[in-house]
Amino acid sequence: MTTLKNDRFLRALLRQPVDTTPVWMMRQAGRYLPEYRATREQAGDFLSLCKNAELACEVTLQPLRRYELDAAILFSDILTIPDALGLGLYFETGEGPKFQKVVRTEQDIAQLPKLNASSDLDYVMRAVSTIRSALGGAVPLIGFSGSPWTLATYMIEGGSSRDFRYSKEMLFAKPELLHALLDHLADSVTDYLNAQIDAGAQAVQIFDSWGGALAHQDYVDFSLQYMQKIIKGLTKEKDGQRIPVIVFTKGGGLWIPEMLESGADALGLDWTTPLAQARSQVAGRVALQGNLDPATLYGTPKAIEAAVKRMIDQAYANGEKTGYVANLGHGITQWVDPAMPKVFVDTVHEYSQKYL
């Protein structure tokens, strides 16, 4: 077992002392990097890139060569599970992900196979083990999945959606069907994340990208309770090390009290949630992660530095000295100048030391 050279990310998630605030970026491997675009072109297309362990490893490592990041995150996609369940994932240029089949009836749900992630998504596990080996203990590796509700919306709508017409129709007209689908997906996600942990992931994040589209009680009933079920079923320790779990609900800042009961070690926040207020609400019970507006990185170095300092000031306003991971409030966008994330990362490391 390789000893981690830099474990401050894991330490912060477990609210242990750190020397400086750890930082990583959602979608840190992506289209804003010219080297990523070149590797994707080499692969042929996005899915081929995901399914090639060596190339997935290469793009995972690319941002770590540019920036002093404190964690690597598996390069993959949240829609690998629906694809493995037989829905036929494909990507239309300029339109995002789509599925050849949708899930809208009782029969559709009954016909979904039971996922065996180790075999059905073996290419993901090969990528995890390849990346973990290539990292050589430099920083921890994060595995991830979409939340059951988020995955369900893509499966029901057949792709991305702005109004979730069919998903919400099922929720209100046939809630028992939606619960059956979500239960199936919770089992699938649990198996998927445990397989990633077995392959070498040292922390995992559940991306509840569309949880914020739900009304209050619906969020609790149709999203949060299924993430809670997943967390209960996850491997808690591997090779003598705790495996922290992060839950990130975009638009979920109003549900912090409810999310505190999820069993997660950390909650991710988007940029709409005041960080100092969130720290006060969780009162040291869980770590927090976030929450710089990704669009900040369109700004000048001076503007980025000022925004990052405000975020750090809020993170430590209540006197806590750990339990915080700096990140963007959502994924970095393709239009960011690759020079700007360095300003973000370096400012986090340098400025936060005054509090620690």
31 annotated active-site: yes
User: Considering 37, 40, 126, 242, which one is annotated as catalytic?
Assistant: 40
Q: Which domain holds residue 244?
A: 23-289
Residue 6 falls inside a structural domain: no
> Each residue of 312-338: pLDDT tens digit?
999 999 999 999 999 999 999 999 999
Output the domain CATH number for residue 88: 3.20.20.210
Residue 251 falls inside a structural domain: yes
Which residues carry a binding-site annotation for substrate?
27-31, 77, 154, 209, 330
Residue 265 falls inside a structural domain: yes
pLDDT of 96: 84
Dist CA 313 CA 352 (whole Å): 8
Model confidence at 92: pLDDT above 90 = no
User: Considering 31, 37, 66, 126, which one is annotated as catalytic?
Assistant: 31
pLDDT of 2: 73
1 confidence band (pLDDT: 50, 70, 90)? low
Q: Which tokens belong to 319?
A: 């006197």
**How many distinct structural domains can be found in the chain?**
1
65 annotated active-site: no
Dist CA 187 CA 50 (whole Å): 23
User: Considering 32, 36, 154, 226, which one is annotated as catalytic?
Assistant: 154
Nearest to 245 by CA among 70, 13, 69: 13
> What average pLDDT does the segment 295-308 reach?
98
Residue 261 falls inside a structural domain: yes
User: Considering 27, 37, 126, 242, which one is annotated as catalytic?
Assistant: 27
Model confidence at 153: pLDDT above 90 = yes
> Each residue of 269-283: pLDDT tens digit?
999 999 999 999 999
Dist CA 43 CA 37 (whole Å): 10
183 annotated active-site: no
Residue 279 falls inside a structural domain: yes
Residue 205 falls inside a structural domain: yes
3 confidence band (pLDDT: 50, 70, 90)? confident
> What average pLDDT does the segment 156-165 reach?
95
Residue 39 falls inside a structural domain: yes
Whether this prediction's pTM lies above 0.95 is answered by yes
Residue 334 falls inside a structural domain: no
Dist CA 26 CA 13 (whole Å): 16
